[in-house]
Structure 1
């Protein structure tokens, strides 16, 4: 099987024997390719065309979608072809090495992109004043670029001749070096995943502390000064009051003792914190806050990470076990199942975005309405 060199591509028959065509693998594989292409293409188009989706987190999601698109274009067709041929590799060894390289690189890029997202989210929560939420900045471009550079670095030994061993069987497309299998598995999965999970745990703990501080600051502001303050009115009343005040041009906080930091902004309550903002020449102030859209993104990301771990953990466990345990016999059906399960993950992310993100769901509905 491909993808970080599980050992072999498909379930090979004896050399010289006529392959048994696997039509079930062909139908499932073609369907999977179409789903991966359609779903991830919609993700890329939605972020490019919808202003509401042009957030820094979604640029990382586009990078992840590009990895899945390349997998569907460069890896899955050859893998499906080999599975249809009964697992026999009937093409050149050079093409096999290119397939192994792309498979390792794209799988690694997916994991590294998820790690980059966790780093970006951790920075957004831990040091919000230094985080640019409006557009992608140099730090985020470096993170995205680094994921692809490191992914190619992990995969490059294959294309540079690692598989060229004297006793190589040309009917099998596999990684020939067990040490490289262990190395690539550790670099691609067993190191990034714990780091990613640790960052997410720290991020949500920081977010929880931020929410508690926000509520405490609001409560103390409402009852500070030893005098009764005007409590924020309900949403509709706030909207009506704001419109009337704007029409009369009489909006003055002095008429009603709103707490310091309380602002009416299009009917939405915003609380600014003195310790989370700074002043610079010109007396302008920058407010550090985590808006509702970012909270939604933070809720979606753990689902994406959970789906990835569910799909790829069985493969990597089987994958590294075969390399370390020479006497272990793993049924070919198990190898096939865990490999297909890993590839299915590439089709899941667009579904997750559709379920958990309103903006993505609206765009997908609009796009499907146009094409259907």
Structure 2
């Protein structure tokens, strides 16, 4: 969801993107996302909002009694909890993501049309590159959104049916497969995003190689020092060559060469 908002701002308002999306706001957004996830997952269960009589499940159990006969840990829910949870965590974010991706796709198509209309016939290669970028962006959006829907739609559909319709008990195998299919989406996202986005690949490369800001600064310092040393050595070599040349010229000027010596005839002693 957060990445969808980021892409929406980058495509629809590229000139104000750097002003809106700052490091501080991204940090606050990440903290908010994790806080909401923890609140939605733990608070209703620990307060008993998920049960029919609004009691906290297994609060009367003692330490180690879960292994005794007759004790069975089963997650309970009521209709209100199911509807609020499913629509708040899946269906509403899904609708927002589809709306933002649709706007992104439309804006990208309009940009390509303007580029093609303003591009002369002898410069069609740039227009073709823009079309290729549009196609790649479309594939990226379809892959990310498709993976999200395929992985999570079966789980939330089954969970909604089990909450609304009583006495709905699917097989344990089917329940486990659908549950782990949803979890698989979290493992699939780190693969999909760098596969279609160069910025993610660069960020992963820097993270895996531990190329942080300090190391990049150190590398730039080494390069600048090497350039300065090379330039200084070049001046020294040039000065040495010039000095050697002057020495040769001085030596040549100190000795007078007669025409006979130039013709190979030794000069007579004086």
Shorter-chain TM-score bucket reads 0.5 to 0.7
1:200 — aligned with what? 101
2:55 — aligned with what? 165
- Secondary structure at the counterpart of residue 18 of structure 2: coil
Shift in alpha-carbon separation, 1:174–1:215, aligned structure 2, 3 A: same
1:322 — aligned with what? 162
1:116 — aligned with what? 2
TM-score by length of 2: 0.56
Q: How far apart are the structure 2 equivalents of 1:320 and 1:133?
A: 41
1:338 — aligned with what? 178
1:305 — aligned with what? 145
Contact 1:304 1:352 in 2 (8 A): yes
TM-score by length of 1: 0.42
Deviations 1:43-75, CA, capped at 9 Å, x for gaps: xxxxxxxxxxxxxxxxxxxxxxxxxxxxxxxxx
1:217 — aligned with what? 118
Shift in alpha-carbon separation, 1:328–1:293, aligned structure 2, 3 A: same
1:251 — aligned with what? none
Shift of 1:149: 3.8
Worse-superposed segment, 294-303 or 176-185: 294-303
Q: How many positions carry a matched residue from both structures? A: 189
Q: How far apart are the structure 2 equivalents of 1:293 and 1:159?
A: 48
Shift in alpha-carbon separation, 1:179–1:194, aligned structure 2, 3 A: same
Shift of 1:176: 4.0
Shift of 1:335: 1.2
Contact 2:47 2:55 in 1 (8 A): no
Larger radius of gyration: 2
- Secondary structure at the counterpart of residue 128 of structure 1: coil
Shift in alpha-carbon separation, 1:294–1:116, aligned structure 2, 3 A: farther
Gaps of 5+ in 1: 1-114, 223-230, 235-268, 271-289
Q: How far apart are the structure 1 equivalents of 2:182 and 2:158?
A: 12
Contact 1:120 1:140 in 2 (8 A): no
Q: Which has the higher strand share?
A: 1
Tell me: higher relative CO, structure 1 or 2? Use CA pairs within 8 A at least 6 residues apart. Answer: 1
Contact 2:151 2:182 in 1 (8 A): yes
Gaps of 5+ in 2: 59-69, 210-270
Correspondence 1:33-182 to 2 at 5 A = 115-132=1-18, 136-155=22-41, 156-162=43-49, 165=55, 168=58, 171-182=72-83
